[in-house]
Chains A and B, each alone.
Chain A
Amino acid sequence: GAGVSQSPRYKVAKRGQDVALRCDPISGHVSLFWYQQALGQGPEFLTYFQNEAQLDKSGLPSDRFFAERPEGSVSTLKIQRTQQEDSAVYLCASSYKTGLNTEAFFGQGTRLTVV
C-alpha cells in the first residue's frame, strides 16, 4: 500500500485479555517503530526494528508487551493480560533507511480501550 497500515483501528479488551495489534509498513522500509500515545500527550517510543531484528525495546513498559517482525515487513505488537493503564493509541511508523537523517511515516494508529 501507499502508506503505513494498522489494524484494527479500534480494540476494546476486557482487563486480563491478550491483544495483538498489526502494522503493515510502507513496502521496502527497513526501519519500523512502535509508539504509545496517551490522551493529550505526544507519542512515546516503545520499540524499534531494523528489518527483522529488534534493536531497541527499551521503551516497552513491562514484560507484558512483546513485539515481533519475523520476516522484516509486517509487525505485531502483543500485549498480554491487559490492564486499564494500557489504554492508549498505539502508533506504528516506518522509514526507508536507518540512521538519524531520515523521515518516519506513521499509520493511523490502533485505539486500545481496556475495560
Chain B
Amino acid sequence: DIQMTQSPSSLSASVGDRVTITCRASQSISSYLNWYQQKPGKAPKLLIYAASSLQSGVPSRFSGSGSGTDFTLTISSLQPEDFATYYCQQSYSTPRVFGPGTKVDIK
C-alpha cells in the first residue's frame, strides 16, 4: 500500500499569513493527489483534485502543486474560516489512503 505523510502535523498562523502544507507519498503517484479541508464536527470538503485543480466554489487563495512524491497545499492569505484540519489523499491506487492531517489553528 502507498503510505502518505504530511508536515507539519500542526501549525499556528495569523490571519493574512501565507501557509504551506506538505504531503509526501511513499512512491510516485504522478498527479493523483487530492486535498480536503475538515472543520470540527463536519465532513471533509474537497479543495484541490489532481494535485493542482481547484474545485468549483473554492476560493482562489487555495492552490496545490507537485507531482511524483512531493506535493504542496498553499493558502496565500489565511482567512478566519480557514482554520481547520487539512488532509491529502492519493487516488493512484487502491486502497485509497489519506495523510494523517495538518491542523491549522490561530496564533
A and B part of one assembly:
no
Which residues from chain B sit less than 8 Å from chain A, CB to CB?
A: none
